[in-house]
Amino acid sequence: MQIERLGTGQYKVFISAEELEERNISSHELEEDQTGWHDNFYDLLEEACDSLGVQTSQNVSVELYSLQPHGIFLILTLLEDELNEAWVDSSKYKSGIFKFTNFEDVVDLSKRFPLVEQVDSSLYAMQDKYWLVFRCSEANVGLYSLISEYGEPTSITQYVLNEYGKSILKDNAFKILKYWFK
């Protein structure tokens, strides 16, 4: 296993065909047997993370490139500490404030948002950005992930938005946006 640092928090791992054979991983398994490969993949990933001194509990993005018959490349990207803290703290799944660069992203999110009745949401404009405040009664990782696809989690408080921002939709932002932008 060869490991090369590509940049801050990003590594390229090459595993040769010979090493794969030593681990009893065949090209047939890579192409057809998804369950067998799945187990072996996590073993390889764990070994690579151990070599780098990275805990497997950290958020790691993995890109896999198969270069048969030579072997495979893994590109490992370690996510930033701030982002890790945001994902680990389960209270963040109940509420949050997200920054959007344009209004269309907020509208697109509202179209995909499944639980408009169960989420209290507000929308603000400030510094040429849109800020969405949402609150759920229960922690919902899927909801938080969906919002993260369109916006960026921020550490700004609702007090700052109330003081310096312009309230666009004070209550039920998702419900209103979904109604008007079908």
* Domains within the chain, CATH numbers bracketed: 2-79 (no CATH), 88-180 (3.30.70.1950)
Confidence of residue 84 (pLDDT cuts 50, 70, 90): very low
| Tokens matching residue 1 | 């296993």
pLDDT at 86: 39
In the chain, the percentage of residues whose pLDDT exceeds 70 is: 66
For 145, the enclosing helix (H) or strand (E) is helix 141-150
Q: Which two tokens stand for residue 141?
A: 């990782």
- Identify the H or E element spanning 158: helix 158-164
pLDDT, tens digit, 9 for 90 and up, residues 142-154: 677 778 888 888 8
Query: Among 76, 72, 73, which Cα is nearest to 25's?
Result: 72
For residue range 6-23, what is the model confidence (pLDDT) as tens digits?
766 677 878 887 887 887
Q: Is the pLDDT of residue 100 over 70?
A: yes
Under the banding of pLDDT at 50, 70 and 90, the label for residue 26 is low
**Helices 173-180 and 103-112, axial angle in degrees (round to 10):** 90
User: In which region does residue 91 sit, left (phi positive, over 0), alpha (psi from -120 to 50) or beta (all else)?
Assistant: alpha
Indicate the pTM of the whole model: 0.49
111-143 per-position pLDDT tens digit: 877 666 667 889 999 999 999 988 876 656 667
CA–CA dist 121, 147 (Å, integer): 12
Whether the pLDDT of residue 58 is over 90: the answer is no
- Cα separation of 132 and 152, whole Å? 10
Chain-wide mean pLDDT for the chain?
A: 75
